[in-house]
Structure 1
Amino acid sequence: MITPRFSCSQTEESVIISIYCPSVRAADVEIHVEETLVSVHINPYFLRLNFSYPLVEDESSLANYDPSSGYLTLTLTKENKGQVFDDLDLLAKLLAPRPAVPHPTIEVVSEGTEQTDQTEQDDLAMRTRSLSLHRKEIDLSLEREEILRAAENDWQLPQEVPEPPLSTSVQKYYGFLNMHSGYFRHVTHTENEVNELGADAEVCTVAERRRKRLQHEEQKWDEEYYMADFADDEYIRELLTWTHPHTDHIENFQYTEEENAVMLRLPRKEYLATPTQTHNLYLTLLTLLFAYAYESRTTQHDPTPESAWTISTLTPAFSALDPPNSAAVSVADPLTFSTDELSETFVTSYRRSLAFPLYRSFILAEACRMDVAGFLSRGKRTVVRCLLEMKNILDHHEVYYVYSKVWVDDFCVWTQAYASDDMLLGLGKQVAELRIAKSSIGWRLEALEAATQEIEERESDSDDEDSDDSA
């Protein structure tokens, strides 16, 4: 089945779905409305949308096909007239599967996580034991019949979270919610210059990944390079005056046709994340946005052939498969972020921006952090736009596209369907108010800057003396 291009809008009483399906027979269209779920089948196209509020088919509902334009327009009545349907422009959210209500939702521990919060384990065990005997004795023949019927109509099939692998396996998992593996089995045969794990990328433990990342940062740190950029910072200061277009207020935000086309091709998944995993996803999102902000600011939003390298190098979740992993998540309020953990997250990004790319400046890193705050303060739509641009850069690289597959694709979907605008706005405020001390970077930046200024003053005095002698 082909997922067609589509868009949604609304009036006071209805939701209008416009579907591009050229060269079809309008008489063959099948439309099914079940509360929030709308399914449209017109061979060879199939579209299933899950709205936030229920719709109904009544006398006011209409379906009109225009063969000259190829658009099928559906007008479906809102069950509650006047209700505002949010996020009609977030296509990935509309396409996301509806949670399987009849089945109990169980939060599973991610395969690649080596240290699991004990409270979550106890909670998971308690809910598992509470499953009723009746649930365990479901008639298998009825279940098979349901699956066959769903397959014929391309409905949502019931899915189960796969069993975690045996702990004796050397295979480790990584990427979004540790759902991926196998992407780096032949990494030594590719020109992946950002991979810091070498041939062991598939088997490194979480602790080994972090150790190798820190070791590589120490090896790449160059005091003379930093001092040179601190002394000759004319171009860097020009970069500081540039304003990112995505941090400006945008009236009537709309995704472009190209962005909508990319969102239609994104994977459609239901993410069963624990509160701790969700907490860490927000922290990881900050590091992705920082890398994007650095690349955008240093190229002034005009990507170069080096842009994919820059983004991948500055993102620890890419280069070392080492995303932020906070161990101090509040059980009572897991979506509260402390100043310390936010600072720790940005310190990692600062260190990488000072050790690897072309421009290595603390004040430039500060500007990128403020860009991140600006993206977040504009909500999930702007954040998704940033992620889509990052995805576009990575997808066009013959090696680094892999990081789009294991991280960015899922983040695009998750941000639209699961991230909270209020949470992003709150994070934006916290990020803007952060104060990152130079001493927290660990590379005696203040001493190096003072030494640079002293050298410049001596050279200036020497030039003055030479000028006096010649006079």
Structure 2
Amino acid sequence: MITPHFSITQDDNFVVITIHAPYVRAQDVELDVDGSQFRFYLKPYYLRLQLPGNVIEDTRASALYDVASGNMTVKLPKETPGEYFPDLDLLTKLLARSVASSNGGHLIEVVGENNDALTDAEIEEAIEYSWELPQKVADAPEILLNAQYGFSGSYSGYFTHVQETCNEINEVIDPETSTPLSRRQNRIQAEDLKFDEDHYIADLLNNEPILNLLKYKTHWWKTLKRLQKNDKDVPKESDSVINENEKLHSVKDPELEFTSREREMMLRLPNKEYLLNDPKAIYLGLVDLLFAYSYNHRFTEGENTIESAWTIGKISPTISSLEQFSTLRETVIALFRRSLSYPLYRSFILCEKVLQDVYVLLKLGRRAIIKVLLDIKDTFDNHDVYYIYSKVWLDDYCVWCMKASDKHIRSLARELHHFKIEKAEIGFELENLEQLSQEADI
């Protein structure tokens, strides 16, 4: 069966589902509505949706087929008039669901709801993260038949022949026999060897290109400014700019609306629920990916190049070293170290600016983040070698982010907004090098 392209809109009283199913006999359509579940079958198309609220099938319901466009428009009344259905633009989230275990187990389709399950509010109340304190997770078995890496350590076997490919991103020596400790050791050793004192000093002395990059305003900055300007009653730096109500981002700025390309990519993703051993590490990995994206975005001024996959992958320790972190500080230190060792421009103040870009993305919320993750995924998908990172990281991150906690994302944004990192923490004697550059410039 083929999952058709679809989109969903709503008003106070109706949900409207538009399904693209060209070249079919419309009279053969089968529609079924049961509370929050909607099913559409018209050979060869099949669509099953789990809506965020209940709809009913009464005399007000309708289904119209437009032969010219190949679209069927299904209009369903809401059970509770005036109820707002969140996340109707997050298409993957609405599809039939499955559960992915955190140790690479089989996917299990969810066929019903557990009435005893915790509500989102109860989960939020039960989980509180301190981004600066390491979180204790269950110890891994001492003997593993295969290395586990990728999203929540769910993958193995993807890097069996990595040495035979032209993978210039990978920093892990023999990934399939690696451990989290060995991967971190490989990364730090590679960074120490790669850091070039002369390059760093040269960028300090000839800093005009870097100053131009610092002046660049990303479209994400402009979007946040527009949202803040529109919310006249909300203080500029208040976290209330990102309202709990999802209406804020879905209607207030077109920059946060998904393009047809992005909707198509979401439809290709499998909808999963994740049983995570260490959810905090996943959020910290998100900071990692957003930083690597933001560096490339600022460096290219928003226009990806053929080097963008390498730039993003090389800066990200999550991708290049298959790392996971336990604190925000160690995450940021690793990102700064790599940004000062690998790309063309190596500047501490540029790293600080990129970290502000990450804050802006977190401030904008899930839709901006999902758009970024889809952009990274598309960049890797179109590379002959690096597509593998979509398989072990980005596909899952795109799906997971649709259901990620807005509370935790806002918490990360607050933490980053006030985050300070000292040059001495990086480990490259940056202050001494800056002193040398000042003496050379006299």
Give the deviation of 1:320 after TM superposition. 1.1
Partner secondary structure for residue 375 of structure 1: helix
| Distance in 1, Cα, partners of 2:166 & 2:116 | 45
- The answer for the alignment partner of 1:233 in structure 2 is 207
Give the deviation of 1:401 after TM superposition. 1.1
Partner secondary structure for residue 409 of structure 1: helix
Find 2:398's aligned residue among 412, 437, 461: 412
- The answer for the alignment partner of 2:31 in structure 1 is 31
Alignment of 1:390 onto 2:393: no
| Distance in 2, Cα, partners of 1:285 & 1:102 | 29
Contact 1:378 1:425 in 2 (8 A): no
Partner secondary structure for residue 31 of structure 1: strand
Question: Structure 2: any 5+ residue segments left out of the alignment?
Answer: 99-109, 119-133, 227-252
Give the deviation of 1:299 after TM superposition. 0.7
Q: Quick one: which amino acid aligns to residue 58 of structure 2?
A: D
Partner secondary structure for residue 404 of structure 2: coil
Correspondence list, 1:300-319, <5 A:
300-319=301-320
Alignment of 1:444 onto 2:429: yes
- The answer for the alignment partner of 2:126 in structure 1 is none
| Distance in 2, Cα, partners of 1:402 & 1:104 | 38
Give the deviation of 1:423 after TM superposition. 2.5
Encode CA deviations 1:90-129: one digit per residue, 9 max, x unaligned: 11211251754359989xxxxxxxx9947x79xxxxxxxx
| Distance in 2, Cα, partners of 1:170 & 1:229 | 46
Encode CA deviations 1:44-103: one digit per residue, 9 max, x unaligned: 111111111111212211111111210011111211111001111111211251754359
Encode CA deviations 1:302-335: one digit per residue, 9 max, x unaligned: 11111111111111111111121x1xxxxxxxxx
Q: Quick one: which amino acid aligns to residue 416 of structure 2?
A: V
Q: Quick one: which amino acid aligns to residue 256 of structure 1?
A: T
Contact 1:247 1:378 in 2 (8 A): no
Give the deviation of 1:222 after TM superposition. 1.1
Give the deviation of 1:238 after TM superposition. 0.3
Contact 1:220 1:355 in 2 (8 A): yes
Q: Quick one: which amino acid aligns to residue 208 of structure 2?
A: E
Distance 1:96 1:390, change over 3 A: farther
Contact 1:12 1:82 in 2 (8 A): yes
Q: Quick one: which amino acid aligns to residue 75 of structure 2?
A: T
| Distance in 2, Cα, partners of 1:282 & 1:248 | 25
- The answer for the alignment partner of 1:261 in structure 2 is 264
Give the deviation of 1:428 after TM superposition. 1.5
Find 1:357's aligned residue among 334, 343, 350: 343
Contact 1:29 1:41 in 2 (8 A): yes
Find 1:214's aligned residue among 183, 188, 194: 188
Give the deviation of 1:167 after TM superposition. 6.5
| Distance in 2, Cα, partners of 1:91 & 1:105 | 23
Give the deviation of 1:425 after TM superposition. 2.5
Q: Quick one: which amino acid aligns to residue 274 of structure 2?
A: Y
| Distance in 2, Cα, partners of 1:209 & 1:92 | 32
Find 1:433's aligned residue among 414, 418, 422: 418
Distance 1:269 1:358, change over 3 A: same
Correspondence list, 1:170-185, <5 A:
170-185=145-160
Partner secondary structure for residue 440 of structure 2: helix
Give the deviation of 1:442 after TM superposition. 1.1
- Which structure has more RCO (C-alpha within 8 Å, separation ≥ 6)? 2
- Percentage of pairs with the same residue: 42
Give the deviation of 1:225 after TM superposition. 1.0
- The answer for the alignment partner of 1:94 in structure 2 is 94
Q: CA RMSD in A?
A: 2.1
| Distance in 2, Cα, partners of 1:394 & 1:426 | 29
| Distance in 2, Cα, partners of 1:312 & 1:103 | 42
Alignment of 1:401 onto 2:414: no
Give the deviation of 1:439 after TM superposition. 1.1
Distance 1:96 1:242, change over 3 A: farther
Distance 1:47 1:234, change over 3 A: same
Give the deviation of 1:233 after TM superposition. 0.6
| Distance in 1, Cα, partners of 2:152 & 2:26 | 42
Partner secondary structure for residue 16 of structure 1: strand
Q: Quick one: which amino acid aligns to residue 319 of structure 2?
A: F
Distance 1:202 1:343, change over 3 A: same
Contact 1:9 1:16 in 2 (8 A): yes
Contact 1:14 1:75 in 2 (8 A): yes
| Distance in 1, Cα, partners of 2:117 & 2:16 | 32
| Distance in 2, Cα, partners of 1:362 & 1:102 | 50
- The answer for the alignment partner of 1:271 in structure 2 is 274
Give the deviation of 1:179 after TM superposition. 1.5
Larger radius of gyration: 1
Alignment of 1:298 onto 2:272: no
Correspondence list, 1:331-350, <5 A:
341-350=327-336
| Distance in 2, Cα, partners of 1:195 & 1:85 | 42
Q: Quick one: which amino acid aligns to residue 386 of structure 1?
A: V
- The answer for the alignment partner of 2:43 in structure 1 is 43
Partner secondary structure for residue 56 of structure 1: coil
Encode CA deviations 1:325-362: one digit per residue, 9 max, x unaligned: x1xxxxxxxxxxxxxx3222111100000011111000
Give the deviation of 1:170 after TM superposition. 2.9
Contact 1:36 1:51 in 2 (8 A): yes
Normalising by the residue count of structure 1, what TM-score does the alignment of the two structures yield? 0.78
Distance 1:238 1:201, change over 3 A: same
| Distance in 2, Cα, partners of 1:117 & 1:353 | 29
Q: Quick one: which amino acid aligns to residue 92 of structure 1?
A: T
| Distance in 2, Cα, partners of 1:14 & 1:282 | 35
Q: Quick one: which amino acid aligns to residue 400 of structure 2?
A: W
